[in-house]
Amino acid sequence: MKIVVAKNSGFCFGVKRAMKMIDDLEKQSKEKPLYTLGPIIHNPQVVDSLKEKGILPLNDVSKMKKGSLILRTHGVEKTLLDKIKRKKIKYIDATCPFVANAHNYAKKLFKEGYLVVIFGETEHPEVLAINSQIDNKGIVVEKKEDIKKIVNMKNKRIGVISQTTQSLEKFKEIVTELMDNFKEIYVVNTICNATSLRQNSAVEVANKVDLMLVIGGKNSGNTKRLFQICYSLNRNTFHIETYKEIKSFKERVLKSKKVGLVAGASTPDWIIKEVVNYLKKIDKEEKKNGRKKK
């Protein structure tokens, strides 16, 4: 079995930055215990590993009596951040710089009189945080059909931005649809470069392997999009969080001469290595047993 790992896999810049901030804070801070505002990233295994270190996810800051708070990479809604400041809670802002950039563009467009259209998942923390910067007066669009709710605003000036982990191709589709309905559109591509590189790498690998594994949290938006992209190219694609899930379709893996891997932006290297090692292990066992691949 040949194992092909996509070039751009695993932690992105924003996640690496956040994890380093947590590590530094754990070593240096005297304000303990340490909390993250919700899950710091969308990866259950990373969240569990932080819990083992005593760094706990907290959804309700009103319950926080002491310690330090780490703001998640997806950003925080403005009203919640204001509450944290009012309570004088010590906090570290681990918001991804690319997400913060989307915040700034939302405010800029809104200030200049544009109706801000945000392409992304309606209930995703990042989208909620972006929209909160303009008092939730933006319009969130998940798919082309959602544009119907604003088409009656024919004379409206539209400013378009995107959730940072969205598909560039889907973003282009949304922009094209908006162009068919509005006269003036200001488009800012706020999709981070790491997202595009990761998706391109996934396409390259999915096209040349027999079976594709997409590794990452089932609650991770960027990982789910990687799965959708890979599945559209290779129906023999599976979304897993850890190597243990491979056991349920092990026979299909063993029948594959080439297995491809790509991992979401919040997937740590150690989980990717565990998957690779497990594949090597079962392949070695297969050879030892002398069974022939069909």
239 annotated ligand-binding residue? no
Q: What integer pLDDT is reported at residue 155 of this predicted model?
A: 64
Query: Catalytic residue among 31, 52, 112, 126, which?
Result: 126
- For the beta carbon of residue 213, count every other beta carbon within 10 angstroms: 29
256 annotated ligand-binding residue? no
42 annotated ligand-binding residue? yes
Domains observed in the chain:
2-10+196-289 (3.40.1010.20), 13-96 (3.40.50.11270), 98-187 (3.40.1010.20)
Q: What integer pLDDT is reported at residue 291 of this predicted model?
A: 53
φ, ψ at 60 (rounded to 5°): -120, 105
What is the four-CA torsion angle of 284, 290, 293, 294, rounded to 10 degrees?
-170
The first and second tokens of residue 195, run together, are 């997202």
Q: What integer pLDDT is reported at residue 154 of this predicted model?
A: 61
266 annotated ligand-binding residue? yes
Own/partner long-range contacts of 183-186 (Cβ < 8 Å, ≥24 apart)? 183/154, 183/155, 184/157, 184/158, 185/157, 185/158, 185/159, 185/160, 186/109, 186/114, 186/157, 186/158, 186/159, 186/160
Interatomic CA distance for residues 263 and 275, integer angstroms: 11
95 annotated ligand-binding residue? no
232 annotated ligand-binding residue? no
The first and second tokens of residue 273, run together, are 């290595």
- Tell me: cis bond preceding 33? Omega within 30 of 0 counts: yes
74 annotated ligand-binding residue? yes
Q: What pTM was computed for the model?
A: 0.87
Q: What integer pLDDT is reported at residue 45 of this predicted model?
A: 95
Interatomic CA distance for residues 233 and 228, integer angstroms: 9
SS (H, E, C) the chain: CEEEECCCCCCCHHHHHHHHHHHHHHHHCCCCCEEEECCCCCCHHHHHHHHHCCEEEECCHHHCCCCEEEECCCCCCHHHHHHHHHCCCEEEECCCHHHHHHHHHHHHHHHCCCEEEEECCCCCHHHHHHHHCCCCCCEEECCHHHHHHHCCCCCCCEEEEECCCCCHHHHHHHHHHHHCCCCCEEECCCCCHHHHHHHHHHHHHHCCCCEEEEECCCCCHHHHHHHHHHHHHCCCEEEECCHHHHHHHHHHHHCCCEEEEEECCCCCHHHHHHHHHHHHHHHHHHHHHCCCCC
**285 is annotated as an active-site residue:** no
**pLDDT per position in the chain (294 positions), as tens?**
999 999 999 999 999 999 999 998 888 866 678 999 989 999 999 999 999 998 999 988 888 888 889 999 999 999 999 999 999 999 999 999 999 999 999 999 999 999 999 999 999 999 999 999 999 999 999 999 999 888 777 668 999 999 999 999 999 999 999 998 888 999 999 999 889 999 999 999 999 999 999 999 999 989 999 999 999 999 999 999 999 999 999 999 999 999 999 999 999 999 999 999 999 999 999 888 875 544
Q: What integer pLDDT is reported at residue 26 of this predicted model?
A: 85
Question: Which residues face 213 on adjacent strands?
Answer: 238, 261
